[in-house]
Structure 1
Amino acid sequence: MRRITLLALILTPIACQAVQLSDNFALQIDLNLASDYRTRGISQTQNDPAAQVGATLLHSSGLYTGVWTSNVDFGFGLKTRQEVDYYAGWYWQASDDVNLDLGYIKYSYPKEGQFNQSEVYAILGAYGFKLAAQYSGDAKNLFGEKQDTLYSYVSYETALPLDLGLKLRYGRNDFKDPLFWSTGGTSSDDYHEWEAKLTRDFAGVTWGLAYIDTDLSESECASYYGFTDVCSATWVASVSKSF
């Protein structure tokens, strides 16, 4: 039901901030606090704050594996309050400006296993741009039936004056079945989402401020996610640290 993307975990084979364990292995820890947990434009915490942590074991060959977790709140008295993701992949650096990331993610939700699903992804990076596709064949719709889903996006990242970083993303989330219904009775099986984020390193951590929105109307949002405000435009503040 909820579709997650771990953009923060697109890593170099041996990240410069990671803890070196040996000549070939390194461990990276990622910590993040955010005013909202938004993924693909949709809030996973009912617009409330989130605390997130991830650990990734990296090999000099480009292979990596790890685990990531966050608090969640889907409402309706659902028991799960946590998302736990397990992932593995291979990162290939063709040059300083061109890379390819291929991998697999398993999303799990303790006490609400009906939301569990898996996904494969491919992300091509070149000169600050990323072109990505993430496919799942076991996501479930509201009736518990499996369906194919494809999330694709293009993004761009660059440095600005005053030591600011800029990240832009535009994505499309496409479902096999019509899931979103308007008040006029029309249905749709996809939606678009976008994000613009400024970051700056200060006092040993990275501060971020992002504007996030989707093209879903309130009625379309409520028809699938059950609430009118989890798809609407918002500002998300964050502070993160990797080591």
Structure 2
Amino acid sequence: MAAGVAIGVRSSVGLLALVLGGTGLPAAAQESGNSVTPAFQLSANASIVSDYRFRGISLSGKDPAIQGGIDLSHDSGLFIGTWASSIANSGGSNTELDLYGGYGGSVAGIDYSVTALTYVYPGGHSVNYFEVLGSASTRLGTGSVGLDMGWVPRQDNFGGDNIYLAAKGQVPLGSIPASLFGHVGYENGDVYFRKWDWEAGLSYATGPLTASLSYVDTNYSGVDEAGRFARAGVVASLTASF
């Protein structure tokens, strides 16, 4: 899922990052020789991961994946974006393309976002679907804690609703640009029945680059292919943000 939506929304630097920051588009006007702050912000990201995990499940068949996205936000809090990743075969497609838009902001020290997202699998058969995402986070000491939610309503490719909930946290390691991060998620509905997933890891940022290493696992033990791709694993990633 999109880098930066909510946990498992395929990403996981949150969409709030693009709502509250980003690379500015050139100012459309100049006033008294001073640059006018642009109303729109454009940002992009590109990643390589050793295993594309979404809510604990490997969508790349435990193989490496290449990912990237572009986001455009407005100072009103509105944003749109797209994100893509290579994946293992899904209904005849080897590509996931996420298209999303939403609104984010901050109130009483709580950062929040609400996102409508469509997962598209070019060339795939009956695998596209729609999800509504919500995210909220706040500072706690030098770190932050938050909650994410994903709801897939009944639609052509889903026999019923599917709900995902996750609690997440992040703690910086003193003065060095490194952080410990983790989450615990719960999913129940048409896709998985009472599935738990969890992740704990370390990230390090320097300039536009962020490297991370994490341990991912689930309680899902199905004998099907999804069960095999739900087993514990270590995931390494390198992301460039622009």
Task: Tell whether the structures are fold-level matches, with TM greater than 0.5.
Answer: yes
- Unaligned 5+ segments in structure 1 are 180-188
Q: Which residue of 2 aligns with 1:185?
A: none
Q: Which residue of 1 aligns with 2:201?
A: 197
- Deviates further, 197-206 or 37-46: 197-206
Alignment partner for residue 8 of structure 1, among 9, 13, 21?
A: 13
Q: Which residue of 2 aligns with 1:184?
A: none
Deviation, 1:21, is 3.9
Equivalent residue runs for 1:208-219 within 5 Å: 208-217=212-221
How many angstroms apart in 1 are the aligned matches of 2:8 and 2:187? 11
Q: Which residue of 2 aligns with 1:47?
A: 62
Q: Which residue of 1 aligns with 2:25?
A: 20
Deviation, 1:101, is 0.6
Q: Which residue of 1 aligns with 2:211?
A: 207
- Unaligned 5+ segments in structure 2 are 1-6, 28-37
How many angstroms apart in 2 are the aligned matches of 1:106 and 1:4? 14
Count of residues paired in the alignment:
220
Alpha carbons 2:96, 2:119 under 8 Å: kept: yes
Q: Which residue of 2 aligns with 1:110?
A: 122
1:231 lines up with 2:242 in the alignment? no
1:68 lines up with 2:80 in the alignment? no
Alignment partner for residue 34 of structure 1, among 49, 53, 58?
A: 49
How many angstroms apart in 2 are the aligned matches of 1:138 and 1:21? 42
The CA RMSD over aligned residues, in Å, is 2.2
Q: Which residue of 1 aligns with 2:146?
A: 130
Alpha carbons 1:34, 1:51 under 8 Å: kept: yes
How many angstroms apart in 2 are the aligned matches of 1:145 and 1:29? 31
1:168 lines up with 2:182 in the alignment? yes
Deviation, 1:33, is 0.7
Give TM-score scaled by structure 2 length.
Answer: 0.83
Q: Deviations over 1:62-99 (max 9, x none)?
A: 10001100001037xx521100010001011225x421
Structure 1 pair 234/4, CA: closer, same or farther in 2 (3 Å)? same
Alpha carbons 1:66, 1:88 under 8 Å: kept: yes
Q: Secondary structure at the match of 1:56?
A: strand
Structure 1 pair 57/146, CA: closer, same or farther in 2 (3 Å)? same
Structure 1 stretches of 4+ moved >6 Å = none
Equivalent residue runs for 1:140-155 within 5 Å: 146-155=159-168
Q: Secondary structure at the match of 1:169?
A: strand
Give TM-score scaled by structure 1 length.
Answer: 0.83
1:92 lines up with 2:105 in the alignment? yes
How many angstroms apart in 2 are the aligned matches of 1:17 and 1:56? 9
